[in-house]
Amino acid sequence: MPLIEFEVRGNVAEVRLNRPSALNAINAEMEVALGGAWARIDSDPDIRVAVLAGAGDKAFCAGGDLSDLPGSQDGLSLSGLSLGGGLTGLGGRLVRLQKPLIGVVHGHVLGLGFELAACCDILIAADNTRFGLPEARAGFIDHCGPVHRAIRQLPYRVAMAMITASEPLDAERAFQFGLVNEIAAMAALPDTVERWVQKLLACSPLVSQAGKQAALTGLEASLEQAVGQRYPLIDAYAATQDFREASQAWKERRAPQWQGR
């Protein structure tokens, strides 16, 4: 059975961590497979939305499998391939996924699993979800991606409680703090995900991608610098079929038919 399930359904790529017996902990083989999935998603113009989920009913991802990530210090892989979708790779290499990424989490979301979730653009959580950074309680820390995500996406003291005291965060509090977009019962997750997928598919894929690029790149600068610089995907959009379709659809008072080109 593959450790990563990858399926394209229309304009949607579905990626599923498929190691439920190990709570979907990421090992070396999964890391390489995930890296390949992100590359394929970004290189295929027909893929407009990606969805990331985890198999089984106990965990989205319990983090990195330290017993099976060779070629590194203390078991952590340094290849930096897997967590690339706006996600930080193991070892700190930042690879940003161009397409919008919906994360669907449930059960345990720990360590690197927390980082995977925090790197999604839209996050849907089952009502049994518990986010956590167990490093302090376990007495181990090396890869700091989850720490950097937590302090940027959560209130300071909430993040610090997770970082320094391994305090867990349940779905309701995660929603209150803006970490997740929506909470759903496990049985309702498929319908909830499909609703968000349709929202994204109704939008211009090139505009969504251009807006994402500008937003994430702009975060690295001051507001003054961010609003004053140019962004390649925005500059290129005026020459696309979708730009012309948007103009024509507006004139004809109809819904546009996006091509992603």
Residues in the chain, how many?
261
| 189 in Cβ contact with 124 (< 8 Å) | yes
**pTM for the structure as a whole:** 0.91
Q: Which residues contact 200 (CB under 8 A, 6 or more apart)?
A: 48, 49, 100, 102, 122, 208
Element of type H or E holding 72: none
Tell me if residue 135 is catalytic. Answer: yes
| Interatomic CA distance for residues 3 and 99, integer angstroms | 23
pLDDT at 142: 67
Report pLDDT for 65: 80
d(C-alpha 165, C-alpha 134), whole Å:
8
Torsion of CA 176, 199, 149, 57, to 10 degrees: 80
Q: pLDDT (tens digit, 0 to 9) for every residue of the chain, 261 residues total?
A: 899 999 999 999 999 999 999 999 988 788 888 888 988 999 999 999 999 999 999 999 998 886 754 444 434 444 444 444 445 444 456 778 899 999 999 999 999 899 999 989 999 999 999 999 998 888 877 667 889 899 999 999 999 999 999 999 999 999 999 999 999 999 999 999 999 999 999 999 999 999 999 999 998 899 999 999 999 999 999 999 999 999 999 999 999 999 999
Give the span between the Cα atoms of 60 and 126, in whole angstroms: 10
Query: Degrees (nearest 5) of the Cα angle 72, 77, 83?
Result: 160
Q: Which of 5, 7, 135, 182 is catalytic?
A: 135
Distances (CA, A) of 257 to 204, 243, 254: 9, 11, 9
Task: Name 152's Cβ contacts closer than 8 Å, sequence gap at least 6.
Answer: none
Tokens of 162: 């997770």
| Strand-pair partners of 51 | 14, 102
Of 115, 167, 172, 194, the active-site residue reads: 115
Question: Which residues are CB-contacts of 59 (< 8 A; sequence separation ≥ 6)?
Answer: 20, 23, 24, 106, 107, 108, 109, 110, 113
pLDDT, tens digit, 9 for 90 and up, residues 107-139: 999 998 999 999 899 999 999 999 999 988 888
Give 22-32 pLDDT, tens digit per residue: 999 988 788 88
